Amino acid sequence: MATRDEAVEIPVEGRCIPGTLVAPATAIPGILFVQGWGSSQDVYLPRARQIAALGCIGLTFEPRGVARDDPRHETVTREDNLRDLVAAYDTLAAQPGVDASAMGVIGSSYGAYLAAILTSLRPVRWLTLRVPALYRDEDWTVPKQGLSRDSLNAYRRARVSPSQNRALAACAEFRGDVLVVESEHDDRIPHAVVANYLGAFAQVRSLSYRRMEGADHGLSSPEAQRAYAALLMSWVTEMVLGARVSWKPAGV
């Protein structure tokens, strides 16, 4: 890995001695985590700590009304939560040492859906979508909790093109690296939704797809959680460490 030298003065007993600080020449990737509907940022904290060990800075956060015990759970809209996500991204990208050209987003279910849309609003290099949800554009301003379940289930069983959906349109324009993860026993997100996402990624640098055998939507078993953690860490390690050979910090 390339390094940079910086001269420093070390104070000791009223005088200074010269030193040279040697640091990596590259800035640090930022990884943003977006949890699913009804959960909290705690679900991603263990993953954020693991990824931080790779030399990244991770950020988990609490979008308005997403957690079940949040008083705004019944009234929050997708527009509200997308604004939360953009604000979280901007906060992470502005952290000292973070390379804004090396940003990753990891989302699950509702969070994956919003993460896909985020790529049309902010630069994203790496994108992970686990059991990504899909919603109609027409009811964008309807409170999330007030959406018709029957209508939503029918929509998710249909073939939807990027021209018909904002999230899929963003995927069609995305040019980074993508990991899509499906659960074998998902009772909320049918395979048709995952197929719509996979079909939309026409211009990406790389596309990886994994189907987790025996797993449900929420990864309720310890075995499924461990399997996803291993899968995610393997992919992020490949992406981040491999990219360090060639990337330059923003502004260089």
Q: Say if CB 182 and CB 209 are below 8 A apart.
A: yes
pLDDT in tens, 121-158: 999 999 999 999 999 999 999 999 999 999 999 999 99
Region 226-236 average pLDDT: 95
Token pair listed for 180: 């899509």
pLDDT of residue 11: 81
Lowest mean pLDDT among 4-8, 88-92, 135-139, 214-218: 4-8
Asked if residue 104 lies in contact with residue 249, where contact means CB atoms within 8 angstroms, the answer is: no
pLDDT at 244 over 80: no
Q: How confident is residue 251, by pLDDT bands cut at 50, 70 and 90?
A: very low
Residue 232 makes CB contacts below 8 A (sequence gap 6+) with 47, 106, 128, 179
Check pLDDT > 60 for residue 20.
yes
> Which range is least confidently modeled, 52-61, 173-182, 188-197, 230-239?
52-61
Other CB atoms within 10 A of residue 9 CB = 10
Segment 224-230 mean pLDDT: 95
Residue 10 CA to residue 28 CA, distance in Å, equals: 26
What structural domains and CATH numbers belong to the chain?
24-243 (3.40.50.1820)
Alpha carbon 181 to chain centroid, angstroms: 12
